[in-house]
Amino acid sequence: MSFKELWESILKCSFEAQEVIKPYVHVTPVNLSATLSRICGADVFLKYENLQKTGSFKVRGALYKVSKLGRSVKGVVTASAGNHAQGVAYAASSLGLPSVVVMPESASTPKVQATEGYGAEVILYGKVYDDAYQKALEIREARGYEFIHAFNDVEVIGGQGTIGLEIINQISDFDIVIVPVGGGGLISGIASAIKAKKPQVKVIGVEPEAAPKMLLSLSSGKPISIEPKPTIADGLVAKTPGEITFEVVSNLVDEIVTVSEEEISEAIYITLERQKTLVEGAGAVGVAALISGKANVKGKKVVAVLSGGNIDLTILNKVLIRGLVKVGRIVKISGYVPDAPGYMTRILQIIAHHRGNVLDIAHDRSDLKAPAWHAKITILFETPGPSSTSEILRKLKDEGFNFINES
Ligand SMILES: Cc1ncc(COP(=O)(O)O)c(C=O)c1O
């Protein structure tokens, strides 16, 4: 099949998918972000696929794929520990089919429960994705179910492409669209729709530095396998792009940029604080590319796709603490203090007086750098902001306590 034929068949699927999936999905909003627009010197719009059914765009491709399977199909099976699992479970239940999702044994309980909640039978198998994948293929054979690939499938890609068609309906003129890249199904669908309707729009893909499979494949001229490192954008971890997605991305995507773990974390924090919306790491990479300046959008009208919001709350907790430290709302100070009654009370009174709220105190008598009969005191506290912290440090100094800000 030539690329033109492939592109045409994806587009055809996207147009058909729009109608097929309509009863089961939300038309997610696209809104201007004043904060991101100010930071980037551009008009930045966000497409809220984190508010989609099941919390990510994945239902679109899964629903369309399942709808195309024909009457003789007995059920569907897939391997995934992520959003695809929930998408397939929801799609199969919505269309009245049984589904099996195989996840590695390490899959988190909330993910297992969510997938079961959407009606799938979840089987935990093996240590890594590849083990689960092999098991899913066995189940396909044994039960005669259809396997649903997460990205390398024209109909799945076509389903994801409905996002591109939706964006075009929601805002008339825009210059750039920014899309997260895992295996490449999402960006292939969106690029196919947007380049067909608005060829002048630039399509930028974003990968984590920890898993730059598409970027490296493009520079090698063919899909190559990488060893991904752990990343907070776990939805974007794939060893290799698909043959189909690689071909679409090589032909239609203008640029791929990569973002660091720190940038992704900051993007989750800013999106929550400013937009009041929760995105997972994979869903935040577009915002990370914007705030880090990796995507050059100055003076342009841009749409960034927030592709999902299913973040593990323990990870969110870490992101928020790091974010609060970064903006100076949580600080750690330390100093040497005489190891005698009454000193700690005075220090804590000064902190409390300036509305500092203590989270943790360490009192270390074993620090050999401490002067004789002194202990090293480290205090972690919430503060209204950097000016209160400076005031606290100044007041402590006035009282003879030499503390430094360690944050
Ligand atoms: C939230 C989120 N965003 C983006 C992606 C990437 O999608 P694709 O693999 O189609 O590139 C995924 C994949 O699971 C995801 O879960």
Domains of the chain: 3-57+154-322 (3.40.50.1100), 74-144 (3.40.50.1100), 328-405 (3.30.70.260)
User: Which residue's CA is minimally distant from atom 10 of ligand 1?
Assistant: 185
- Expressed in angstroms and rounded, the spacing between residue 400 Cα and the centre of ligand 1 is 55
Beta strands per DSSP E along 244-373? 255-259, 301-306, 330-338, 357-364
Nearest-CA residue for atom 7 of ligand 1: 182
Nearest atom of ligand 1 to the alpha carbon of 183: 9
- Whether ligand 1 lies within 6 angstroms of the CB of 282 is answered as yes
> How much distance in Å is there from the Cα of 321 to the middle of ligand 1?
26
CA 35 – ligand 1 centroid, Å: 25
* CA-wise closest residue to 285 among 182, 406, 147, 394: 182
- Please check whether residue 294 is in contact with residue 257, taking contact to mean a CB–CB distance below 8 angstroms: yes
Residue 186 CB less than 6 A away from ligand 1: yes
Could you tell me the distance, in angstroms and rounded to a whole number, from the CA of residue 359 to the centre of ligand 1?
37
Question: What's the gap between Cα 388 and its chain centre?
Answer: 33
Query: Tell me, what amino acid is at 238?
Result: A
User: How much is the pTM?
Assistant: 0.93
Output the CA 235–ligand 1 centroid distance in Å.
5
Ligand 1 contact via 84 beta carbon (within 6 Å): yes
Ligand 1 mean position, distance from CA 238 (Å)? 10
Per-residue pLDDT for 289 more than 90? Answer: yes
* 338 CA → ligand 1 middle, Å: 55
Residue 56: DSSP 8-state = B
- Would you state the structure tokens that stand for residue 186, as one six-digit string? 């999402």
Phi/psi-derived region of residue 198, left when phi > 0, alpha when psi is between -120 and 50, beta in every other case: beta
Is 400 buried (19+), middle (13-18) or exposed (0-12) by CB count in 10 A? exposed
**Nearest CA-CA partner of 80 in 101, 99, 56, 62:** 101
Q: Are 23 and 60 in contact (CB under 8 A)?
A: no
| C-alpha closest to that of 217 among 193, 243, 191 | 243
pLDDT single digits (tens) 306-340: 999 999 999 999 999 999 999 999 999 999 999 99
The percentage of the chain sitting over the pLDDT mark of 90, rounded to a whole number, equals 94
Of 18-32, 47-61, 126-140, 375-389, minimum mean pLDDT range: 126-140
Residue 207: which H helix or E strand, with range? strand 202-208
Q: Is the CB of 82 under 6 A from ligand 1?
A: yes
Residue in 10, 56, 234 to alter for ligand 1 test, most ligand atoms within 8 A of Cβ: 56
Atom of ligand 1 nearest to the CA of 83: 16
Cα–Cα distance measured from residue 316 to residue 261, given in angstroms and rounded to the nearest whole number = 13
CA of 126 to the centre of ligand 1 (A): 22
> Residue 111's pLDDT is what?
87
pLDDT over 90 (residue 34): yes
Q: Are 386 and 328 in contact (CB under 8 A)?
A: yes
Q: How confident is the model at residue 107 (pLDDT cuts 50, 70, 90)?
A: confident
- Nearest CA owner, ligand 1 atom 12: 235
223 lines ligand 1 (CB under 6 A): no
Q: What is the pLDDT of residue 259?
A: 98
Alpha carbons within 13 angstroms on the beta-carbon side of residue 314 total 3
Residue nearest to atom 16 of ligand 1 (CA): 235
Ligand 1 center to 75 CA (angstroms): 23
Count Cα neighbours of 402 within 13 Å in the Cβ-side half-sphere: 4
pLDDT tier, 128 (very low <50, low <70, confident <90, very high otherwise): confident
pLDDT at 251: 98
